[in-house]
A = this chain, B = another copy of it.
């Protein structure tokens, strides 16, 4: 008998998404090289002038994944430098995040439904309970930026589909 839990709805879900995203990055490299597209063109592509470009979308996926599990477990969030300038560096960032997520055990995260979570955004703070934070903030943000990254590549001609997205 399996049972949904805060761990089950976060760590394995984020691991799956990050693995899929990493595989999509591999396809983007093959595509760019085959078409002689400068990698930077894809890395800085965006769907609207005031939307984040591809690199930033990937960074934010990892930020929400590592931020979510750290906050639910009550441990410090590892800080990354946000200086990735290549697909290889983005893949490394994803790999580091995966490695980090894999260190968590269910007992560190399960039962965090009522935990007080405080998000600092500049001068503002937002307060959540763990369950609301996981379902209505962290997961939404992970999917939002993951899908945006996917859509940017799709819009730029990469031949990927739902199968790549779902894994």
Contact = CB atoms under 8 A, between A and B. Distances in A.
A147 B162 CA distance: 13
Contacts of A3: 113, 131
A4 B3 CA distance: 10
A137 interface: yes
Interface stretch (A6-14, A32-40, A78-86): A6-14
Consensus secondary structure, chain A interface: helix
Interface of A: 1-6, 8-9, 12-13, 16, 47-48, 51, 113-114, 129, 131, 134-137, 139-141, 143-144, 147-148, 151, 154-155, 157, 162, 165-166
Given A8-B135, A48-B155, 15 more contacts: A1-B114, A2-B113, A3-B113, A4-B4, A4-B9, A4-B113, A8-B131, A9-B9, A9-B135, A12-B135, A47-B47, A47-B151, A143-B144, A144-B166, A147-B151
